[in-house]
Amino acid sequence: MDIETLYDKIYRYCYHRLRSREAAEDAAQEAFARWLASGVCRSESAALRYLYAVARNLCVDEYRRKKQEPLPQDLPAPDGALETLALRQAVAALSREEQELILMRYVNQEPVSVIAGALGVSRFAVYRRTSAALEKLRALMKEDEP
């Protein structure tokens, strides 16, 4: 189990929920501290399920505490320039839940079982919602095409 990879995934997840580097780091570190203190999740998939679930709750708490901040400008520039920018805009047009699913499934590349466990829904629901979100994203991208 590579702790650094787990950390990167949870941090990225928290960042896209909170839109703040400091808050995301705090949430990711708190999630890790709770996971290590729990001592119950030994396998990687169980650890990920636990970490995502805790990180999600922490992000919700943080989000409720203060209003969403705008996306800062110090983000890494995309390599594919225009196409990636268009994709980012299309992603931003998705709902929070859809963005969360896309991030977990295609960016962090989590198995459906981990996402289902973390979100507390069935595997079928994850599969269905992810496919729908991906289709919506494709449709948005098509709209933007000249």
Partner 1 sequence: MKKRELKRALRDAFPAPDPVGKRAFLRSLPPAPVSHLRFLLGQAGYIRKSAWAASLTVFALALAVGRLAPQDAVWATAALTPFAAMAAVTEGARSALYGMEELELSSRFGLKSVALARMGALGLAHFLLLALLAPLGPAGLVRTGVYLLTPYLLTALLGMAALRRLRGKEALYAVAAVAVLVAGLSLALHSGLDAYAPANFRWWLLALLLAAGLTAREYRNTIKRTEELSWNW
Classify residue 120 by its DSSP letter.
T
Measured from the CB atom, the residue of 21 and 53 that comes closer to partner 1 is 21
Q: Are residues 63 and 96 in contact, defined by beta-carbon separation less than 8 angstroms?
A: no
**Residue 40 class from Cβ within 10 Å (0-12 exposed, 13-18 middle, 19+ buried)?**
exposed
Residue 15 as a binder of partner 1 (CB under 8 A): the answer is: yes
**CA trace torsion 119, 125, 128, 129 (10° rounding):** -40
**44-83 residues near partner 1, rule: CB under 8 A:** 72, 74-76, 78-80, 83
> Interface with partner 1 includes 24 (CB under 8 A)?
yes
Q: List contacts with partner 1 (CB under 8 A).
A: 1, 3-4, 7-8, 11-12, 15-16, 21, 24-25, 28-29, 32, 36, 39, 41-43, 72, 74-76, 78-80, 83-84, 87-88, 91, 102-103, 106-107, 134, 137-138, 141
